[in-house]
Amino acid sequence: MDVRRIETTIRDSVQTVGLTVAEYVFSEPRRVRLVVDNDTGVSVQDCVRATHAAEEALRVSGYDPEDFTINVESPGLDRKLSTPHDFERFRGKEVRVTFLNDIDGRRRVTGILGPVTAERIELTEQKRNVSIDRTMVREVRLFTSFGLRHH
């Protein structure tokens, strides 16, 4: 079984229904987990369309889709930001940056996302500009407080 070919096949098939694969995980026994996205958000119906497209692409490529477990999901409210497009799309939104190690006694910081380069993530935390070295970052996620105070 050519795992790379399967990934390419599935990624390409999802694009044909107007979605992109934000995350792809293949594990044994033949489990595929996809997080799909587009610029207008992802509905349950989009996930169903992506599943059908992936199954059909596997069939056309000579695989039996019944041999696979395919789970398709949306990125969710706390979606992980990883691509330059993600950072540009969500600039001005509230994010939570989690560090690889504690920095000044903190494991994470929450603020409004500003410019992002290959080297730095800029954000505003409680009216204070913060510049973070990207090599110190484990992950960046959208943050939704639902009106609750956070630190």
Domain range summary for the chain, segments of one domain joined by +:
3-73, 80-142
How does the average pLDDT of the chain come out, rounded?
92
What's the CATH architecture for 80-142? Answer: Roll (2.30)
The fold for domain 3-73 equals Alpha-Beta Plaits (3.30.70)
Residue-level pLDDT at 147: 63
Instruction: Kindly report whether the global pTM for this prediction surpasses the value 0.85.
Output: no
| Residue 130: Cβ-neighbour burial (10 angstroms; 0-12, 13-18, 19+) | middle
User: 97-150: per-residue pLDDT in tens?
Assistant: 999 999 889 999 999 999 999 999 999 999 999 999 999 999 999 998 776 555
